[in-house]
Amino acid sequence: MADDIRRWSDELARDPSSLVFLQLAEALRRRGQLELALKIAVRGLERHSHNGEAHDLLARICVDRGDLQRAFDEWDMVLRLTPSHVGAMKGLGYICYQEGRRDDAEKYLRMAAEHGGEPEVVAALENVRRSGPVHASTVSALEETHHASSDDPRRLFADLLGDHDQTALLLDAQGLVLAGIYVDSEAHDVSQEVGAELSGVSDEAQRASRHLDLGDWRSIVVETEVAVIAMLPAAADNIVMLAASRATPLGLVRRLSDRCVDRARGWLGGGGRA
Amino acid sequence: MKASPFTATLSALTRLRGVLASLVVYERDGIVVDSNLQVGQKGDRVAALAASLYRKARLSARAAGLGRASFMQLDSERGRICAAGHGDLVLVVVAEPSANVGLIRVEMLKAVEVLV
Protein backbone atom coordinates (compact mmCIF):
# COMPACT_ATOMS: atom_id res chain seq x y z
CA MET A 1 0.00 0.00 0.00
CA ALA A 2 2.82 2.43 0.88
CA ASP A 3 4.44 1.73 -2.48
CA ASP A 4 1.15 2.39 -4.23
CA ILE A 5 0.73 5.69 -2.41
CA ARG A 6 4.25 6.75 -3.38
CA ARG A 7 3.67 5.74 -7.00
CA TRP A 8 0.32 7.52 -7.22
CA SER A 9 1.80 10.64 -5.56
CA ASP A 10 4.59 10.67 -8.13
CA GLU A 11 2.14 10.22 -10.96
CA LEU A 12 -0.03 13.04 -9.68
CA ALA A 13 3.02 15.28 -9.32
CA ARG A 14 3.96 14.55 -12.94
CA ASP A 15 0.43 15.03 -14.22
CA PRO A 16 -1.81 17.08 -11.91
CA SER A 17 -4.78 16.43 -14.18
CA SER A 18 -4.49 12.65 -13.73
CA LEU A 19 -7.45 10.75 -12.28
CA VAL A 20 -5.00 8.88 -10.07
CA PHE A 21 -5.98 11.31 -7.30
CA LEU A 22 -9.02 9.07 -6.78
CA GLN A 23 -6.87 6.08 -5.85
CA LEU A 24 -4.48 8.16 -3.81
CA ALA A 25 -7.13 9.92 -1.73
CA GLU A 26 -9.04 6.65 -1.19
CA ALA A 27 -5.88 4.90 0.00
CA LEU A 28 -5.15 7.75 2.40
CA ARG A 29 -8.73 7.65 3.67
CA ARG A 30 -8.40 3.96 4.41
CA ARG A 31 -5.18 4.63 6.31
CA GLY A 32 -6.96 7.28 8.37
CA GLN A 33 -5.00 10.20 6.89
CA LEU A 34 -8.19 12.13 6.45
CA GLU A 35 -6.86 15.67 6.19
CA LEU A 36 -4.43 14.73 3.44
CA ALA A 37 -7.10 12.67 1.68
CA LEU A 38 -9.45 15.66 1.85
CA LYS A 39 -6.85 18.00 0.41
CA ILE A 40 -6.12 15.70 -2.52
CA ALA A 41 -9.77 15.02 -3.24
CA VAL A 42 -10.64 18.73 -3.21
CA ARG A 43 -7.74 19.55 -5.53
CA GLY A 44 -8.78 16.75 -7.86
CA LEU A 45 -12.33 18.03 -7.94
CA GLU A 46 -11.08 21.45 -8.98
CA ARG A 47 -9.96 19.83 -12.23
CA HIS A 48 -12.70 17.20 -12.52
CA SER A 49 -15.75 18.94 -11.17
CA HIS A 50 -18.16 16.71 -13.14
CA ASN A 51 -16.64 13.42 -12.01
CA GLY A 52 -19.22 11.58 -9.92
CA GLU A 53 -16.70 9.19 -8.38
CA ALA A 54 -14.64 12.15 -7.14
CA HIS A 55 -17.68 13.65 -5.39
CA ASP A 56 -18.47 10.20 -3.95
CA LEU A 57 -14.93 9.92 -2.62
CA LEU A 58 -15.09 13.37 -1.05
CA ALA A 59 -18.43 12.46 0.58
CA ARG A 60 -16.91 9.35 2.16
CA ILE A 61 -13.95 11.33 3.45
CA CYS A 62 -16.38 13.89 4.93
CA VAL A 63 -18.36 11.16 6.69
CA ASP A 64 -15.17 9.80 8.21
CA ARG A 65 -14.37 13.32 9.42
CA GLY A 66 -17.86 13.67 10.89
CA ASP A 67 -18.86 16.43 8.46
CA LEU A 68 -22.26 15.01 7.52
CA GLN A 69 -23.64 18.19 5.97
CA ARG A 70 -20.84 18.41 3.44
CA ALA A 71 -21.06 14.67 2.77
CA PHE A 72 -24.78 15.10 2.06
CA ASP A 73 -24.06 17.90 -0.42
CA GLU A 74 -21.43 15.82 -2.20
CA TRP A 75 -23.64 12.73 -2.53
CA ASP A 76 -26.47 14.96 -3.67
CA MET A 77 -24.13 16.18 -6.42
CA VAL A 78 -23.22 12.57 -7.32
CA LEU A 79 -26.88 11.79 -7.93
CA ARG A 80 -27.24 14.85 -10.13
CA LEU A 81 -24.29 13.64 -12.21
CA THR A 82 -25.05 9.89 -12.04
CA PRO A 83 -28.69 9.28 -11.06
CA SER A 84 -28.15 5.52 -10.69
CA HIS A 85 -25.21 5.76 -8.25
CA VAL A 86 -26.11 3.26 -5.51
CA GLY A 87 -23.26 4.35 -3.23
CA ALA A 88 -24.61 7.90 -3.11
CA MET A 89 -28.14 6.64 -2.36
CA LYS A 90 -26.84 4.54 0.52
CA GLY A 91 -24.75 7.43 1.79
CA LEU A 92 -27.68 9.83 1.73
CA GLY A 93 -29.84 7.25 3.49
CA TYR A 94 -27.17 6.85 6.16
CA ILE A 95 -26.93 10.60 6.79
CA CYS A 96 -30.68 11.13 6.84
CA TYR A 97 -31.07 8.32 9.35
CA GLN A 98 -28.28 9.68 11.51
CA GLU A 99 -30.10 13.02 11.53
CA GLY A 100 -33.43 11.42 12.46
CA ARG A 101 -35.02 12.08 9.06
CA ARG A 102 -36.56 8.62 8.72
CA ASP A 103 -38.80 9.38 5.74
CA ASP A 104 -35.88 10.71 3.71
CA ALA A 105 -33.69 7.81 4.83
CA GLU A 106 -36.34 5.36 3.67
CA LYS A 107 -36.63 7.15 0.34
CA TYR A 108 -32.92 6.91 -0.40
CA LEU A 109 -32.58 3.34 0.85
CA ARG A 110 -35.55 2.29 -1.25
CA MET A 111 -33.85 3.86 -4.27
CA ALA A 112 -30.64 1.99 -3.45
CA ALA A 113 -32.47 -1.32 -3.07
CA GLU A 114 -34.25 -0.78 -6.39
CA HIS A 115 -30.93 -0.12 -8.08
CA GLY A 116 -29.37 -3.36 -6.91
CA GLY A 117 -28.10 -2.51 -3.42
CA GLU A 118 -26.66 -5.33 -1.30
CA PRO A 119 -28.75 -7.37 1.17
CA GLU A 120 -27.54 -5.02 3.93
CA VAL A 121 -29.38 -2.18 2.24
CA VAL A 122 -32.61 -4.15 2.18
CA ALA A 123 -32.13 -5.07 5.84
CA ALA A 124 -31.48 -1.45 6.75
CA LEU A 125 -34.55 -0.38 4.81
CA GLU A 126 -36.69 -2.87 6.71
CA ASN A 127 -35.31 -1.57 9.98
CA VAL A 128 -36.05 2.03 9.02
CA ARG A 129 -39.61 1.09 8.13
CA ARG A 130 -40.12 -0.77 11.39
CA SER A 131 -38.34 1.44 13.84
CA GLY A 132 -39.73 4.42 15.72
CA PRO A 133 -36.81 6.22 17.24
CA VAL A 134 -33.31 5.73 15.86
CA HIS A 135 -32.54 2.04 16.20
CA ALA A 136 -29.02 0.87 16.94
CA SER A 137 -29.19 -2.08 14.58
CA THR A 138 -30.22 0.17 11.72
CA VAL A 139 -27.31 2.53 12.27
CA SER A 140 -25.03 -0.48 12.43
CA ALA A 141 -26.38 -1.90 9.18
CA LEU A 142 -26.09 1.45 7.43
CA GLU A 143 -22.56 1.97 8.69
CA GLU A 144 -21.75 -1.48 7.43
CA THR A 145 -23.02 -0.65 3.95
CA HIS A 146 -21.11 2.63 4.01
CA HIS A 147 -17.83 1.04 5.03
CA ALA A 148 -18.36 -2.01 2.86
CA SER A 149 -18.74 0.07 -0.27
CA SER A 150 -15.03 0.42 -0.91
CA ASP A 151 -14.49 -3.34 -0.44
CA ASP A 152 -17.39 -4.33 -2.66
CA PRO A 153 -16.01 -6.38 -5.59
CA ARG A 154 -18.43 -4.56 -7.85
CA ARG A 155 -16.50 -1.36 -7.17
CA LEU A 156 -13.09 -2.89 -7.92
CA PHE A 157 -12.51 -0.64 -10.93
CA ALA A 158 -14.66 2.33 -9.93
CA ASP A 159 -11.86 4.70 -9.02
CA LEU A 160 -9.87 3.83 -12.14
CA LEU A 161 -12.69 4.53 -14.54
CA GLY A 162 -14.03 7.72 -13.09
CA ASP A 163 -16.50 8.83 -15.68
CA HIS A 164 -19.78 6.97 -15.87
CA ASP A 165 -19.54 6.12 -19.57
CA GLN A 166 -16.88 3.50 -18.83
CA THR A 167 -17.34 0.23 -17.06
CA ALA A 168 -15.27 -2.89 -16.44
CA LEU A 169 -15.77 -6.51 -15.43
CA LEU A 170 -13.43 -9.23 -14.25
CA LEU A 171 -14.62 -12.57 -15.60
CA ASP A 172 -13.45 -16.06 -14.81
CA ALA A 173 -12.67 -18.69 -17.46
CA GLN A 174 -16.34 -19.71 -17.55
CA GLY A 175 -17.55 -16.18 -18.19
CA LEU A 176 -18.84 -15.66 -14.65
CA VAL A 177 -18.40 -12.24 -13.08
CA LEU A 178 -15.80 -12.04 -10.32
CA ALA A 179 -15.77 -8.28 -9.87
CA GLY A 180 -16.89 -5.05 -11.47
CA ILE A 181 -20.32 -4.09 -12.67
CA TYR A 182 -22.02 -3.41 -15.99
CA VAL A 183 -25.09 -1.21 -15.79
CA ASP A 184 -27.15 -0.61 -18.92
CA SER A 185 -28.73 2.66 -20.00
CA GLU A 186 -31.81 1.88 -17.88
CA ALA A 187 -29.69 1.40 -14.74
CA HIS A 188 -30.10 -2.40 -14.69
CA ASP A 189 -27.16 -4.53 -13.64
CA VAL A 190 -26.54 -6.72 -16.71
CA SER A 191 -23.02 -7.83 -15.72
CA GLN A 192 -23.72 -11.56 -15.89
CA GLU A 193 -25.44 -11.34 -19.26
CA VAL A 194 -22.74 -9.20 -20.89
CA GLY A 195 -19.96 -11.27 -19.34
CA ALA A 196 -21.46 -14.51 -20.56
CA GLU A 197 -21.96 -13.21 -24.09
CA LEU A 198 -18.51 -11.70 -24.50
CA SER A 199 -16.32 -14.23 -22.72
CA GLY A 200 -16.44 -16.60 -25.71
CA VAL A 201 -14.61 -14.02 -27.83
CA SER A 202 -11.43 -14.51 -25.82
CA ASP A 203 -11.53 -18.27 -26.44
CA GLU A 204 -11.72 -17.57 -30.15
CA ALA A 205 -8.88 -15.03 -29.87
CA GLN A 206 -6.71 -17.58 -28.13
CA ARG A 207 -7.47 -20.17 -30.79
CA ALA A 208 -6.63 -17.79 -33.64
CA SER A 209 -3.37 -16.68 -32.01
CA ARG A 210 -2.28 -20.25 -31.42
CA HIS A 211 -3.07 -21.54 -34.90
CA LEU A 212 -1.41 -18.57 -36.60
CA ASP A 213 1.75 -18.89 -34.49
CA LEU A 214 1.27 -15.42 -33.05
CA GLY A 215 2.04 -16.44 -29.48
CA ASP A 216 -0.16 -15.55 -26.51
CA TRP A 217 -2.96 -13.09 -27.14
CA ARG A 218 -2.66 -9.80 -25.30
CA SER A 219 -5.86 -7.97 -26.07
CA ILE A 220 -8.84 -7.85 -28.33
CA VAL A 221 -10.69 -4.63 -29.05
CA VAL A 222 -14.09 -4.56 -30.74
CA GLU A 223 -15.65 -1.32 -31.91
CA THR A 224 -19.41 -1.26 -32.26
CA GLU A 225 -21.82 1.50 -33.16
CA VAL A 226 -22.34 2.35 -29.48
CA ALA A 227 -19.24 1.20 -27.62
CA VAL A 228 -15.62 0.17 -27.64
CA ILE A 229 -15.01 -3.12 -25.84
CA ALA A 230 -11.55 -4.25 -24.81
CA MET A 231 -10.78 -7.69 -23.42
CA LEU A 232 -7.44 -8.62 -21.89
CA PRO A 233 -6.20 -11.73 -20.14
CA ALA A 234 -5.63 -11.34 -16.42
CA ALA A 235 -4.11 -13.95 -14.11
CA ALA A 236 -5.07 -17.63 -14.38
CA ASP A 237 -7.42 -17.60 -17.38
CA ASN A 238 -9.45 -14.70 -16.05
CA ILE A 239 -10.39 -11.85 -18.35
CA VAL A 240 -10.82 -8.14 -17.84
CA MET A 241 -13.48 -6.59 -20.04
CA LEU A 242 -13.71 -2.84 -20.37
CA ALA A 243 -16.53 -1.10 -22.21
CA ALA A 244 -16.46 2.58 -23.01
CA SER A 245 -18.59 4.89 -25.09
CA ARG A 246 -17.63 5.43 -28.72
CA ALA A 247 -16.51 8.93 -27.77
CA THR A 248 -13.64 7.52 -25.68
CA PRO A 249 -10.31 7.75 -27.54
CA LEU A 250 -8.91 4.30 -28.33
CA GLY A 251 -5.59 5.13 -26.69
CA LEU A 252 -7.39 5.94 -23.46
CA VAL A 253 -9.32 2.67 -23.69
CA ARG A 254 -6.02 0.84 -23.92
CA ARG A 255 -4.54 2.75 -20.98
CA LEU A 256 -7.58 2.17 -18.81
CA SER A 257 -7.63 -1.51 -19.77
CA ASP A 258 -4.03 -1.96 -18.69
CA ARG A 259 -4.77 -0.31 -15.36
CA CYS A 260 -7.79 -2.52 -14.83
CA VAL A 261 -5.67 -5.61 -15.52
CA ASP A 262 -3.11 -4.47 -12.94
CA ARG A 263 -5.90 -3.92 -10.44
CA ALA A 264 -7.47 -7.30 -11.20
CA ARG A 265 -4.15 -9.13 -10.80
CA GLY A 266 -3.55 -7.45 -7.46
CA TRP A 267 -7.07 -8.27 -6.32
CA LEU A 268 -6.82 -11.90 -7.41
CA GLY A 269 -3.39 -12.19 -5.82
CA GLY A 270 -4.85 -10.92 -2.56
CA GLY A 271 -7.50 -13.63 -2.55
CA GLY A 272 -10.24 -11.34 -3.81
CA ARG A 273 -9.77 -8.47 -1.39
CA ALA A 274 -9.10 -4.88 -2.40
CA MET B 1 -4.08 -13.34 -63.27
CA LYS B 2 -7.10 -11.08 -63.65
CA ALA B 3 -7.44 -8.32 -61.06
CA SER B 4 -10.50 -8.41 -58.79
CA PRO B 5 -12.40 -5.31 -57.64
CA PHE B 6 -10.40 -5.55 -54.41
CA THR B 7 -6.89 -5.90 -55.82
CA ALA B 8 -5.92 -2.22 -55.64
CA THR B 9 -7.31 -1.85 -52.12
CA LEU B 10 -5.46 -4.91 -50.84
CA SER B 11 -2.26 -3.87 -52.55
CA ALA B 12 -2.42 -0.43 -50.91
CA LEU B 13 -3.01 -1.97 -47.47
CA THR B 14 -0.11 -4.41 -47.82
CA ARG B 15 2.21 -1.52 -48.68
CA LEU B 16 1.65 -0.01 -45.22
CA ARG B 17 4.64 -0.50 -42.96
CA GLY B 18 4.48 -3.72 -40.95
CA VAL B 19 1.56 -5.23 -42.86
CA LEU B 20 2.18 -8.87 -43.80
CA ALA B 21 -1.09 -9.76 -45.47
CA SER B 22 -4.43 -8.32 -46.44
CA LEU B 23 -7.43 -10.32 -47.50
CA VAL B 24 -11.09 -10.09 -48.34
CA VAL B 25 -12.95 -13.13 -47.01
CA TYR B 26 -16.50 -14.36 -46.59
CA GLU B 27 -17.46 -13.96 -42.96
CA ARG B 28 -19.72 -17.01 -42.91
CA ASP B 29 -17.21 -19.66 -44.00
CA GLY B 30 -13.82 -17.93 -44.10
CA ILE B 31 -13.31 -18.51 -47.83
CA VAL B 32 -10.81 -16.14 -49.48
CA VAL B 33 -12.26 -13.76 -52.08
CA ASP B 34 -8.96 -12.00 -52.82
CA SER B 35 -5.67 -11.57 -51.01
CA ASN B 36 -2.31 -9.85 -51.09
CA LEU B 37 0.19 -11.85 -49.06
CA GLN B 38 3.86 -11.47 -48.33
CA VAL B 39 6.03 -14.56 -48.66
CA GLY B 40 5.36 -17.11 -45.93
CA GLN B 41 1.82 -16.04 -45.11
CA LYS B 42 -0.79 -18.79 -45.19
CA GLY B 43 -3.83 -17.10 -46.71
CA ASP B 44 -6.39 -19.85 -46.19
CA ARG B 45 -5.56 -20.35 -42.56
CA VAL B 46 -5.54 -16.61 -41.82
CA ALA B 47 -8.86 -16.18 -43.62
CA ALA B 48 -10.61 -18.99 -41.78
CA LEU B 49 -9.45 -17.99 -38.31
CA ALA B 50 -9.85 -14.23 -38.75
CA ALA B 51 -13.34 -14.60 -40.22
CA SER B 52 -14.35 -16.91 -37.38
CA LEU B 53 -13.00 -14.51 -34.76
CA TYR B 54 -14.69 -11.50 -36.35
CA ARG B 55 -17.98 -13.37 -36.63
CA LYS B 56 -17.81 -14.41 -32.99
CA ALA B 57 -17.01 -10.85 -31.87
CA ARG B 58 -19.82 -9.41 -34.00
CA LEU B 59 -22.46 -11.86 -32.78
CA SER B 60 -21.36 -11.58 -29.14
CA ALA B 61 -21.41 -7.78 -29.20
CA ARG B 62 -24.88 -7.82 -30.70
CA ALA B 63 -26.12 -10.38 -28.16
CA ALA B 64 -24.73 -8.24 -25.35
CA GLY B 65 -26.75 -5.29 -26.60
CA LEU B 66 -23.72 -3.35 -27.81
CA GLY B 67 -24.88 -2.88 -31.38
CA ARG B 68 -23.31 -3.63 -34.74
CA ALA B 69 -19.56 -4.31 -34.75
CA SER B 70 -17.51 -2.33 -37.22
CA PHE B 71 -13.87 -3.07 -36.38
CA MET B 72 -11.91 -5.63 -34.41
CA GLN B 73 -8.28 -5.82 -33.44
CA LEU B 74 -6.46 -8.77 -31.88
CA ASP B 75 -3.03 -8.10 -30.39
CA SER B 76 -0.77 -11.06 -29.76
CA GLU B 77 2.87 -11.50 -28.81
CA ARG B 78 4.11 -11.81 -32.37
CA GLY B 79 1.50 -10.10 -34.46
CA ARG B 80 -1.81 -8.36 -34.92
CA ILE B 81 -4.98 -9.20 -36.77
CA CYS B 82 -7.37 -6.41 -37.72
CA ALA B 83 -10.76 -7.00 -39.28
CA ALA B 84 -13.53 -4.76 -40.56
CA GLY B 85 -16.79 -6.09 -41.89
CA HIS B 86 -19.25 -4.90 -44.49
CA GLY B 87 -22.19 -7.05 -45.49
CA ASP B 88 -21.10 -10.67 -45.74
CA LEU B 89 -17.45 -9.78 -46.40
CA VAL B 90 -14.62 -9.03 -44.00
CA LEU B 91 -11.47 -7.11 -44.75
CA VAL B 92 -8.58 -8.68 -42.81
CA VAL B 93 -5.07 -7.39 -42.21
CA VAL B 94 -2.24 -9.27 -40.52
CA ALA B 95 0.55 -7.05 -39.22
CA GLU B 96 3.71 -7.15 -37.18
CA PRO B 97 3.50 -6.06 -33.53
CA SER B 98 5.47 -2.92 -34.39
CA ALA B 99 3.07 -1.79 -37.13
CA ASN B 100 1.25 1.53 -36.81
CA VAL B 101 -2.15 0.18 -35.93
CA GLY B 102 -3.74 3.62 -35.89
CA LEU B 103 -2.88 4.13 -39.54
CA ILE B 104 -3.91 0.61 -40.48
CA ARG B 105 -7.28 1.11 -38.78
CA VAL B 106 -7.96 4.37 -40.59
CA GLU B 107 -7.03 2.90 -43.97
CA MET B 108 -9.12 -0.21 -43.34
CA LEU B 109 -12.20 1.79 -42.35
CA LYS B 110 -11.85 3.77 -45.57
CA ALA B 111 -11.22 0.66 -47.63
CA VAL B 112 -14.05 -1.39 -46.16
CA GLU B 113 -16.56 0.79 -47.96
CA VAL B 114 -15.58 -0.87 -51.25
CA LEU B 115 -16.71 -4.28 -49.96
CA VAL B 116 -20.04 -4.49 -51.70
Q: How confident is the model over A208-241, as pLDDT tens digits?
A: 998 888 999 999 999 998 889 999 999 778 999 9
Tell whether B78 is covered by a domain.
yes
Report pTM: 0.62
CB nearest B77 (choices: A194, A216, A224): A216
Tell whether B1 is covered by a domain.
no
* Containing structural domain, residue B87: 7-114
Statement: A155-269 belongs to CATH 3.40.1110.10: no
CATH number at residue B78: 3.30.450.30
CB nearest B78 (choices: A197, A214, A221): A214
Q: List CB contacts (< 8 A) between A205 and chain B.
A: 53, 74
Ranges of each domain in chain A? 2-152, 155-269
Q: Identity (one letter) of the amino acid at A118? A: E
Domain count, chain B: 1
How many Cβ pairs closer than 8 A exist between chain A and B?
A: 105
A252 CB within 8 Å of a chain B CB: no
Q: What ipTM was predicted for this assembly? A: 0.92
pLDDT-above-90 percentage for chain A:
26
- Alpha helices (H) in chain A, listed in sequence order: 2-14, 20-30, 34-47, 52-65, 68-81, 86-98, 102-114, 119-130, 136-148, 158-161, 191-211, 250-269
Could you tell me the pLDDT band of residue B17, with boundaries at 50, 70 and 90? very high
Task: Considering the domain delimited by A2-152, tell me its CATH architecture.
Answer: Alpha Horseshoe (1.25)
CB nearest A198 (choices: B60, B76, B79): B60
